[in-house]
Amino acid sequence: MVRRFIVRMYGRGFVLMYVAAKRMAYLGLLLSCTVLLVIFSGILEFNTLFLLAGASFCVGIAIRESGLRLGFGFFIASILLSFMLAPNKIYCITFAAMGLYLVISEFAWEKLASAKWSTNRNGILWIIKYVIFNIMYIPIIIFLPKLIYQGELNRGFLAVLLIGGQIGLLIYDKAYSYFQKAIWGKVRGRLGL
């Protein structure tokens, strides 16, 4: 593993920074894959949600492999690059919401895992996940419904969208868990991470 030290001058003193070159190269390649998935979601319209979910799964990979601090930096960089390069900015907003959900979920999981008490952590995590999702989803449905559906919305269809969103969250979260355990676990071993 190649390692190097970088010395930077801050104010009057020097600060010695340790940088793992392999990790930074890996995060750079993952960032390029993330942005490409967001760009392809605007080009290949028939697979938009699938590609955006894949891009947000890359945010989850960055968090789990590099920690919350570098993972959050990765998330911000992926949003900025997506907004600069992707042709459809609405899909960038959707990607940002999916990625933010994963960032907060991973943060909540880390805090719950380090908690000293041991009562139903999984149930508390699911409550946190549904609260996070609904804080983002319900205002969009109420104030910006044209982002989701272009036709007329009546109360019955609004209820269908709200319930459908909850079911969609469950499917998305289960797909993310499966991806992390089954798919990324195999790929990670081959990459030597």
Instruction: State how far the Cα of 138 lies from the Cα of 49, in Å rounded to an integer.
Output: 19
Residue type, 104: I
The ranges of the chain with pLDDT < 70 are: 1-20, 118, 192-193
pLDDT at 134: 93
pLDDT at 10: 47
pLDDT at 2: 42
Nearest to 97 by CA among 67, 128, 65, 52: 52
pLDDT at 82: 94
The answer to whether the predicted template modeling score (pTM) of the entire model surpasses 0.85 is no
pLDDT at 42: 86
Nearest to 44 by CA among 4, 5, 6, 91: 91
pLDDT at 193: 63
